[in-house]
């Protein structure tokens, strides 16, 4: 780590000769804060600079509220979680606010509420709507909404929390997974939290409170004493300093690197700042604007999730895709939206990549880029190259290498020389795009 990063990792990045603002860093920003960028977005970003580009990602010019209302109106008619998967992917592909969808995906993994554990389509729809509404707000507000959500309770198999039988499993999950993190609480904290959460039931898919089933006695939770109820202990846990450390560490993994474990000292400035008001948007903004985010050591330090891999290809090529089929293909690669595999979410990182999933990613890329087949040829590299004035085959290939891989001229020449020369421009560019997105580097975000 350079001396500047050692002393100023979270200060605003300013381009320099050692760390210039270039296509590589612009594409890196769009991959992490969205899913990928179009050529026009990359060119606009290069001219605007990093900080104005981040302004755009945080506060896009499009009418996000109208877009979300339209999507919400459609999803209200959806009757299965499988159909909801397709609509969420369509939202990711078309959204004018990709950072919002990226953060909604983060919280979906974080809370790991699953349709496989009792929640129906309507409950899952409302759950993800809660995540989206609170994705960039105050963590305490999001935690309050999620902890009282029907889908959350059903997913945690919590249908009745009686005074005579407090649910310590639920209490432990709240403390270990949702707030403080493992090791930051005691068994007594779990027992007292469980007592405070009594009285709540899920009956006929409605959350009901029965005062006679609530333990109204005094409890001591995380060093605080009172006649606490469910809302009280959620608030106490959400505002604990250890919760700030837990959230910051997970967002570091999401935005900076999953290949190394950050020290407490490195994260301390973020943790202290976040603990003041638990403002998620401000925390995300600090990370995205930082020297560390744009450092060489942060680029390519995350393995793309299957969703990032596929949506990135589609958004870069300004295309569309049949998202019902896409959702099923992504599920076969390990990322089944609305169905996190465990209460701890997806393992992520290297677990995304193995012999079978590499073959699966290659097959999905081939299907997306094929002129026919299940995706109907809608990802058309030649059309995008021509749209941006690249009619010559080699020039169009160089354009695609910059758009999809950020490859320099030497890397482009190496990849291009092995491409077959026969066939139409469309066929040649489809094959070359496939070569680009099946490179090891493309699997990295």
> Read out DSSP for 159-198?
SB-BTTB--HHHHHHIIIIISS-TTSS-HHHHHHHHHHTT
Q: How many CB atoms lie within 10 A of CB 33?
A: 22
State how far the Cα of 392 lies from the Cα of 403, in Å rounded to an integer: 16
124 CB-side CA count, 13 A: 27
- The model's pTM is 0.96
Instruction: Map out the domains of the chain as residue ranges.
Output: 158-300, 306-443
- Mean pLDDT across 197-217: 93
User: Where residue 1 falls among pLDDT bands split at 50, 70, 90?
Assistant: very low
Q: What is the predicted pLDDT for the residue at 6?
A: 58
Q: What is the predicted pLDDT for the residue at 86?
A: 96
- Average pLDDT score over the chain: 95
- Mean pLDDT across 57-74: 94
Q: What is the predicted pLDDT for the residue at 198?
A: 96
Q: What is the predicted pLDDT for the residue at 2?
A: 53
* Sheet strands (E) in 215-260: 219-221, 224-226
Q: Is the pLDDT of residue 194 over 90?
A: yes
Q: What is the CA radius of gyration of the chain?
A: 23
Say if residues 215 and 166 touch (Cβ distance below 8 Å): yes
Say if residues 377 and 32 touch (Cβ distance below 8 Å): no
Handedness of CA 114, 115, 117, 123 (dihedral sign): positive
What is the secondary structure of 290-320 as a DSSP string? Answer: BTTTTSTTTTT-SBPPHHHHHHHHHHHTT--
- Mean pLDDT across 44-63: 96
State how far the Cα of 328 lies from the Cα of 323, in Å rounded to an integer: 8
| Residue range 7-22, pLDDT digits in tens | 699 999 999 999 999 9
């Amino acid at each position: 780590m350079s001396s500047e990063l050692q002393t100023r990792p979270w200060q605003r990045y300013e381009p320099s000769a050692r760390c210039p603002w270039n296509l590589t860093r612009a594409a890196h920003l769009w991959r992490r804060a969205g899913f990928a960028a179009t050529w026009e977005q990359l060119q606009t970003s290069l001219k605007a600079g990093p900080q104005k580009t981040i302004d755009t990602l945080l506060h896009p010019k499009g009418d996000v509220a109208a877009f979300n209302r339209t999507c919400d109106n459609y999803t209200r008619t959806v009757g299965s979680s499988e159909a909801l998967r397709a609509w969420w992917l369509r939202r990711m592909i078309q959204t004018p606010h990709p950072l919002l969808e990226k953060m909604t995906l983060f919280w979906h993994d974080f809370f790991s509420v699953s349709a496989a554990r009792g929640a129906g389509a309507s409950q899952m729809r409302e759950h993800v709507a809660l995540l989206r509404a609170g994705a960039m707000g105050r963590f305490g507000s999001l935690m309050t909404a999620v902890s009282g959500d029907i889908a959350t309770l059903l997913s945690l198999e919590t249908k009745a929390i009686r005074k005579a039988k407090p649910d310590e499993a639920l209490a432990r999950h709240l403390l270990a997974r949702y707030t403080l993190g493992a090791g930051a609480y005691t068994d007594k904290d779990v027992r007292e939290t469980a007592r405070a959460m009594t009285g709540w039931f899920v009956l006929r898919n409605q959350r009901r409170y029965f005062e006679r089933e609530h333990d109204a006695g005094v409890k001591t939770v995380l060093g605080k004493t009172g006649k606490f109820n469910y809302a009280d202990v959620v608030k106490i846990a959400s505002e604990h300093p250890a919760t700030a450390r837990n959230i910051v560490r997970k967002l570091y993994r999401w935005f900076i690197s999953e290949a190394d474990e950050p020290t407490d000292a490195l994260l301390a400035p973020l943790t202290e700042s976040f603990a003041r008001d638990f403002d998620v948007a401000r925390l995300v903004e600090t990370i995205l604007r930082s020297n560390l985010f744009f450092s060489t050591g942060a680029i390519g330090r995350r393995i793309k999730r299957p969703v990032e891999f596929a949506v990135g290809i589609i958004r870069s090529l300004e295309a569309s895709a049949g998202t019902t089929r896409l959702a099923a293909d992504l599920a076969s690669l390990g990322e089944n939206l609305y169905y996190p595999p465990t209460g701890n979410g997806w393992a992520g990182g290297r677990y995304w990549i193995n012999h079978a999933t590499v073959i699966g990613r290659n097959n999905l890329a081939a299907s997306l880029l094929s002129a026919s087949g299940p995706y109907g040829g809608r990802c058309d590299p030649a059309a995008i190259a021509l749209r941006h004035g690249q009619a010559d085959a080699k020039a169009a290939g160089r354009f695609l290498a910059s758009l999809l891989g950020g490859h320099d001229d030497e890397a482009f020449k190496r990849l291009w020389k092995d491409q077959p020369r026969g066939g139409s421009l469309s066929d040649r560019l489809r094959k070359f795009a496939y070569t680009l997105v099946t490179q090891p580097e493309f699997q990295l975000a």
